[in-house]
Amino acid sequence: MATPARAKRGGYGRLYRGREGQWSWVAHRVTGVIIILFLFAHVVDTAVVGWGPDAYNKVISVYRNPVVGVLEYVLVACVIFHALNGVRIMLIDFWPRASLWQRQLFYGTMAIFIAGMIPITIIMGNRIVQEIVH
Amino acid sequence: MAVDAKAGARPAADRPVPPRRTSRERPATRGEFWWWMFMRISGIVLLVLAVGHVLIMHVAGSGIDRVNFGFVAVRWSHPFWRTWDWLMLSLALLHGVNGLRVITLDYVRPPGVRTAINAGWAIIGTTLFALGTVVVFTFNACAWPGVHIPGCPS
């Protein structure tokens, strides 16, 4: 059958256009970019450990701040979403029948993500509140 | 068969029925196919390394509050954690920089600008890989005055 010109150019076919498939694709890109841009900074801040205790402890103290704590929480959420959604992508890529259930797989992924984020939100949220109180 | 981008907004009755498909299309050229495969293989490994790292360093115990020079010194006294961190550094940078490359190819059309931006990502990635590798393998906590961790000569 004839492939629509747009689908051919994009290379993803129409399975990934519109609704859950496309939103998870957007979310995968956005979380991926957030993670790699943070990683660029994180490799540098961790590398400071090679310059001794004074330098490293000064750099790491930047993290002990409620605003950075919130950013840290967002980063953790991004990593966990990107990992779980990556598993969903691989299921669809390597197990042909999974493409028939891609919408259900998306909601399953979101359910696992939210279930996982509940304890993490309590733990990290508590720590952020403690930092504000102190 | 005409399918427009807003197909999902139509009522269910006249929405075109997608054909049964075997699986998602894969990149056609050999180079892109192997990058595609690398993203999936490194993704599985990073699922353990990066999610594990995030849970250990940012969620467990008192999280980042307990991390300081001494914490890193004790952690990196085990070759296991140095290997973990170096493998994670290598795979995460390659996985992330390739992701940025794919996104750049999607949104940047002029060939010269494309090449320049992707060269920029490659330079940043290579530089950070070199920096991280040198630090992971040359780090010696005992060389610093006042640092006392198990394993340092007294």
Report the Cα–Cα distance between both ends of chain A, in Å, rounded. Answer: 66
CA–CA gap between residue A119 and residue B6 (Å, rounded): 38
Asked if B145 contacts B94 with a C-beta cutoff of 8 angstroms, the reply is no
Asked if A72 and B97 come within 8 Å (Cβ–Cβ), the reply is no
CA–CA gap between residue B73 and residue B148 (Å, rounded): 9
Asked if B64 and A63 come within 8 Å (Cβ–Cβ), the reply is yes
DSSP 8-state symbol, A98:
G
pLDDT in tens, B134-152: 999 998 877 787 777 777 7
What pLDDT does residue A126 have? Answer: 86
Is the pLDDT assigned to residue A7 strictly greater than 60? no
What pLDDT does residue A108 have? Answer: 92
* pLDDT classification of B119: cutoffs 50, 70, 90: very high
**Mean pLDDT, residues B68-91 taken together:** 91
What pLDDT does residue B17 have? Answer: 60
Minimal Cα–Cα distance from B82 to chain A, Å? 13
CA–CA gap between residue A19 and residue B103 (Å, rounded): 20
* pLDDT classification of B1: cutoffs 50, 70, 90: very low
Percent of chain A with pLDDT over 90: 42
Closest to A54 (Cα-Cα) out of B81, B70, B142: B70
What pLDDT does residue B14 have? Answer: 64
Number of other residues whose CB lies within 10 A of the CB of residue A73: 20
Residues contacting residue A94 through CB under 8 Å, at least 6 positions apart: B23, B40
DSSP 8-state symbol, A48:
G
Which of chain B's residues have a Cβ under 8 Å away from the Cβ of A53?
A: 68-70, 144, 146-147
Q: What is the mean pLDDT of chain A?
A: 84
pLDDT in tens, A18-72: 777 778 888 999 999 999 999 999 999 999 988 988 888 888 888 888 888 889 9
pLDDT in tens, B27-44: 777 788 899 989 999 999
Report the Cα–Cα distance between both ends of chain B, in Å, rounded. Answer: 78
Percent of chain A with pLDDT over 70: 87
Asked if A4 and B2 come within 8 Å (Cβ–Cβ), the reply is yes
Count CB pairs under 8 A between chains A and B: 140
Q: What is the mean pLDDT of chain B?
A: 83
Q: pTM (2 decimals)?
A: 0.78
Helices and strands (H and E) in chain B: how many: 4, 0
